[in-house]
Amino acid sequence: MSIGIVVEGPSDGSAYRALVPRIGNGQDVIQVRECGGKSRLKNGFVNFLREFQRNPAWQFSAAFVIRDSDCSSPQPIEGQLQNILEASGFTAEFRVEFFATPCMLESWLLSDLEAIRTVAAQRGHGAGTAPLNIQIAKSISSGDKDVFIQVLTHFGLPATPVVYGEVAACANLTMIGNRCTYFREFMRRIRAV
Position 175 in a domain = no
Alpha-carbon span 86 to 33, nearest angstrom: 20
pLDDT (tens, 9 = 90+) of the chain, 193 residues, equals 689 999 999 999 999 999 999 998 666 767 999 999 999 999 999 999 999 999 888 888 899 999 988 878 889 999 999 999 999 999 999 999 999 987 789 989 998 888 999 999 998 876 555 556 565 554 444 567 888 998 999 899 999 999 999 999 999 999 999 988 889 999 999 998 8
Question: b or e along 138-174 (b: 16 or more beta carbons within 10 Å of the residue's beta carbon)?
Answer: eebeebbbebbebbbebbebeeebebbbbbbbbbebe
Find, among 189, 120, 178, the residue nearest to 154 by Cα: 120
Q: Which domain holds residue 119?
A: 107-170
The number of folded domains in the chain is: 2
Position 116 in a domain = yes
Position 151 in a domain = yes
Position 98 in a domain = yes
**Strands of the 2-7 sheet, one edge to the other:** 28-34, 2-7, 60-68, 95-101
Burial class (CB in 10 A: 0-12, 13-18, 19+), 65: buried
Return the CATH number at 73: 3.40.50
Residue 88 and residue 114 in one domain: no
**Residue ranges in 2-90 assigned as alpha helix (H):** 10-23, 38-54, 74-88
Position 176 in a domain = no
